[in-house]
Amino acid sequence: MLTDIEIARAARPRPIGQIGAALGVPEDALIPYGRDKAKIDRTFLADLETSGRADGALVLVTAMSPTPAGEGKTTTTVGLGDALSRIGKHTAICLREPSLGPCFGMKGGAAGGGYAQVIPMEAINLHFTGDFHAITSAHNLLAALIDNHIYWRRTPRLDPRHLTWRRVMDMNDRSLRQIASGLGGNGVVLETGFDITVASEVMAILCLARDLADLETRLARIRIGEDEDGVPVTAGDLGAAGAMAVLLADAVQPNLVQTLEGTPALIHGGPFANIAHGCNSVIATRAALRLADYVVTEAGFGADLGAEKFFDIKCRQADLTPAVAVVVATIRSLKMNGGVARDALGEENVEALIRGCANLGRHIANVRRFGVPVVVAVNHFSADTAAETAALEAFCASEGVEAVICRHWAEGGPGAEALARRVVAIVEDRSARFAPLYEDSVPLWGKIETVARTLYGAGRVTAEGGVKARLKRWGAAGFDALPVCMAKTQYSFSTDPSALGAPSGHELRVREVRLAAGAGFVVAICGDMMTMPGLPKYPAAQTIGLDSQGRIDGLF
């Protein structure tokens, strides 16, 4: 059997101009990055917004809680997109860009797998078109301007004790979580630290902005700290927004690539869903909706994180209305949620599968709370048995949803045609009655409690230190209308990553809150969640290199 990288290298991609033409993007609106990828020009996108074209149907792919056994959300997104194309639907796929941190850490790449991939896989998983580097540079430019502002004692006089803007890099590096800068007489000594680029507010701003002008406006709203009188100071107060926008002017344009089967894919932006809002860019999604009849997009990790933030943050800000949600599950992951060890997942265990279905059942119920119809995509593995498959289908039927067996990893689009037909039937039924989980008028702490109690099953929601006081102060300053972005472990509904299944009655502890005024949400950091990941004991970087022909080996 061929590996993912061998499959990708054997592909014969169509010239990117042909992919653009198939989507409805003329050649003069494409900015090529080689033969197999391009950016879509912002002028064309602006014309598209005012063209009066009706939006296509928006299909969200989400999943049960992730486990090391794998779920295959991106693979399913690609397979479903290819399958919709195969049954005659004009389709576009919208994905996030992978981060270098997981690629060289533990998770690996994020371009799909098997015969359901987006290509060029290696470029997408590495530097791609440089968007992440631009975001990192813009973020750190603001950090440098802040330090310089303090050094020259310019007005407004920033209070070094109340600075909130940290630095970022697109790599896992736990040693940089907390640092001291300015040592050796090189400026004012400050306690600060690094987050990973995907957690940057600049990343969130790029992904939520509607156009370049909106991007610059949002950059100017970034809160960086307070002056010596306790008055909030923004990036706009330091005159930083213009230069930051210059660094992002190309990055704000979405990237066009293709699947192995030639379905157009817009890959743009890359916030993680466990520490950020977990969706691709509004610009890419809105462009795809104007160009295609069906748009398949994904939200990161499980539905308690990615889907909730897609509904409550992205859809709210961008006026999007999803037509259907596909919840991806695997029999392997369900058995793991039912207590089976990873090395025993290949053995039939119907009882454990049924226990693990509690996790899937809560995700199904949670998505339905938003008024969005659900179908379950069962990402098939060769070790799945008939008895296990029948038990899963019976459970889903008892929940009032259909479980569709999918074999897109091994078969590509043909392996997901049954799922595509089910999605089309739901879309044509027009049964979606989408609404966010909470109203804008609910106070910030009330929004946190609503998510924790309603979606996570928490019994108590507690706050450390001055969290509640800070939220009240932000509410009084006019930020109560913002949604909340929960930073929480992806492995459990609780803050304990080992609590699998569907725990209830647990305590959700909010350790810290951060105001992302430019992005337009408040981040609630829960439990021990870190915004700068660390590398595992044996990182993937140690097995990545170049072969004798200079080709990348071990990336995926």
Task: Encode pLDDT of 402-413 as tens digits.
Answer: 999 999 999 999
Distance (Å) of CA 130 to CA 203, 450, 529: 13, 38, 28
Provide the domain count of the chain.
3
470 assigned to some structural domain: yes
Q: What is the pLDDT of residue 107?
A: 67
Two tokens, residue 273: 């869903």
554 assigned to some structural domain: no
Two tokens, residue 96: 């996030």
CB contact at 8 A, 152 and 180: no
Comparing CA positions, the residue from 147, 166, 164 lying closest to residue 238 is: 147
75 catalytically annotated? yes
DSSP-assigned beta bridge partners for residue 39: 31, 255
CB contact at 8 A, 458 and 524: no
Given 9, 86, 107, 468, the catalytic residue: 107
DSSP H helical segments within 441-531, as ranges? 444-454, 467-474
273 catalytically annotated? yes
* Residue 454, CA atoms < 13 Å, CB-side half-sphere: 18
Given 75, 91, 136, 197, the catalytic residue: 75
* Element counts in the chain: helices (H) and strands (E): 20, 24
**Which of residues 406, 429, 452 is at a domain's end?**
429
107 catalytically annotated? yes
CB contact at 8 A, 206 and 233: no
Given 89, 96, 167, 286, the catalytic residue: 96
> Do 190 and 80 share a domain, yes or no?
no
381 catalytically annotated? yes
Backbone angles phi, psi at 358, to 5 degrees: -60, -35
Residue 3 has pLDDT above 80, yes or no: no
Q: What is the pLDDT of residue 490?
A: 96
Given 194, 381, 395, 479, the catalytic residue: 381
- Percent with pLDDT over 70 in the chain: 99
Determine the Cα–Cα distance for residues 111 and 14; give it in Å rounded to an integer. Answer: 18
Q: Give residue-wise pLDDT tens across range 288-320.
A: 999 999 999 999 999 999 999 999 999 999 999
User: Tokens 């494409």, residue?
Assistant: 30
> Do 243 and 255 share a domain, yes or no?
no
| DSSP element (H, E) containing 330 | none
**Which of residues 248, 279, 305 is at a domain's end?**
248
409 catalytically annotated? yes
pTM of the shown model? 0.96
Comparing CA positions, the residue from 238, 428, 452, 430 lying closest to residue 366 is: 452
Given 73, 223, 290, 335, the catalytic residue: 73
The domain that contains 307 carries what CATH number?
3.40.50.300
Q: Give residue-wise pLDDT tens across range 211-231.
A: 999 999 999 999 999 999 999
> Do 99 and 146 share a domain, yes or no?
no
3-state secondary structure of 86: helix
Range of 200's domain? 131-248
Average pLDDT over residues 460-476: 95
> Do 293 and 405 share a domain, yes or no?
yes
96 catalytically annotated? yes
Two tokens, residue 362: 């809560």
> Do 423 and 488 share a domain, yes or no?
no
> Do 118 and 151 share a domain, yes or no?
no
Given 301, 311, 370, 479, the catalytic residue: 301
Q: Identify each DSSP E strand in 340-438 by its residue range.
A: 374-379, 403-406
Determine the Cα–Cα distance for residues 50 and 35; give it in Å rounded to an integer. Answer: 30
